[in-house]
């Protein structure tokens, strides 16, 4: 009996095979970039037939996007776990600093955030990438929650806050090499980002504890929804 017949959609074995393919593709994408990663390369590295990959993803682009979506989903799940133990992490300066550090350790997510053409290729121009970028930096839904809890600076609207944050975050990522050459550690850069965002996005003075707790609950729900959607997109290929 052929493998495609044995491994039915929804089975643990098929899901495990899909995960293996994604793991291998992620390694190749990170090492070689979009233009140099082929389905043949993935099949050879995974030790499976090329046709088996197409049982999960109909195109090379769909496979590569699934890898990126899985990476952003894992990031969201990590953030949810951290938020569950630290309510103040939901505040803009803390949350974005945490995202900055996490993304710095996740090259594929960083490439996604910066529209790195070398890594993403034509995917960099896809609307799905733009949507993922908005999830990671400048998420208007997030700032709606911050505003709702009275934690956003009075002179800033939700859209303005999102634009400001997106610009600052991308600037910090883009300047990483310069910071490193200057001898500034990742933690020092994250602290500087915290300082910048606290003074540009948030009201002065301590944030009310009740507002922080409410924001934390809402942000967890928001990120869980984003993660669930991403996980659903990836699992659809299993």
What's the CA angle centered on 160, arms 221 and 186, to 5 degrees?
70
Is-contact 100 136, C-beta < 8 A? no
Q: Give domain 71-233's CATH architecture.
A: Orthogonal Bundle (1.10)
pLDDT less than 50: residues of the chain: 1-5
Dihedral of alpha carbons 181, 182, 186, 192, sign: negative
What pLDDT digit, counting tens, does each position of 101-148 carry?
999 999 999 988 888 888 888 888 877 777 777 777 656 789 999 999
pTM: 0.86
Instruction: Report residue 106 as tokens.
Output: 């996740």
CA dist 132 and 32 (Å) reads: 22
What pLDDT digit, counting tens, does each position of 205-224 carry?
999 999 999 999 999 999 99
pLDDT value, residue 5: 41
Half-sphere exposure of 81 (CA within 13 A, CB side): 7
- From residue 76, alpha-carbon distances to 73, 132, 138, 200 in Å are 5, 11, 15, 24
CA dist 82 and 2 (Å) reads: 44
CA dist 237 and 131 (Å) reads: 20
Per-domain residue ranges of the chain: 71-233
Instruction: Report residue 189 as tokens.
Output: 């850069």
pLDDT value, residue 177: 82
pLDDT value, residue 176: 83
């Amino acid at each position: 009996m052929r493998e495609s017949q044995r491994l039915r959609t929804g089975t643990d074995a098929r899901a495990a095979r899909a995960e293996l393919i994604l793991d291998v593709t992620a390694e190749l994408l990170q090492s070689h970039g979009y233009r140099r990663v082929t389905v043949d390369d993935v099949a050879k590295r995974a030790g499976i037939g090329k046709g088996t990959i197409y049982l999960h993803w109909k195109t090379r682009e769909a496979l590569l996007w699934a890898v990126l979506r899985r990476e952003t989903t894992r990031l969201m799940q990590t953030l949810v776990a951290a938020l569950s133990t630290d309510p103040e992490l939901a505040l803009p300066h803390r949350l974005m600093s945490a995202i900055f550090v996490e993304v710095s350790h996740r090259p594929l997510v960083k490439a996604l955030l910066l529209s790195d053409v070398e890594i993403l290729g034509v995917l960099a121009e896809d609307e799905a990438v733009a949507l993922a970028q908005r999830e990671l930096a400048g998420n208007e839904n997030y700032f709606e929650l911050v505003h709702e809890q009275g934690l956003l600076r009075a002179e800033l609207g939700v859209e303005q806050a999102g634009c400001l944050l997106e610009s600052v975050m991308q600037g910090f990522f883009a300047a990483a090499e310069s910071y490193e050459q200057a001898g500034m550690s990742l933690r020092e850069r994250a602290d500087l980002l915290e300082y910048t965002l606290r003074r540009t996005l948030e009201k002065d003075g301590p944030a009310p504890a009740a507002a922080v707790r409410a924001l934390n609950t809402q942000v967890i729900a928001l990120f869980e929804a984003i993660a669930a959607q991403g996980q659903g997109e990836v699992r659809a290929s299993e």
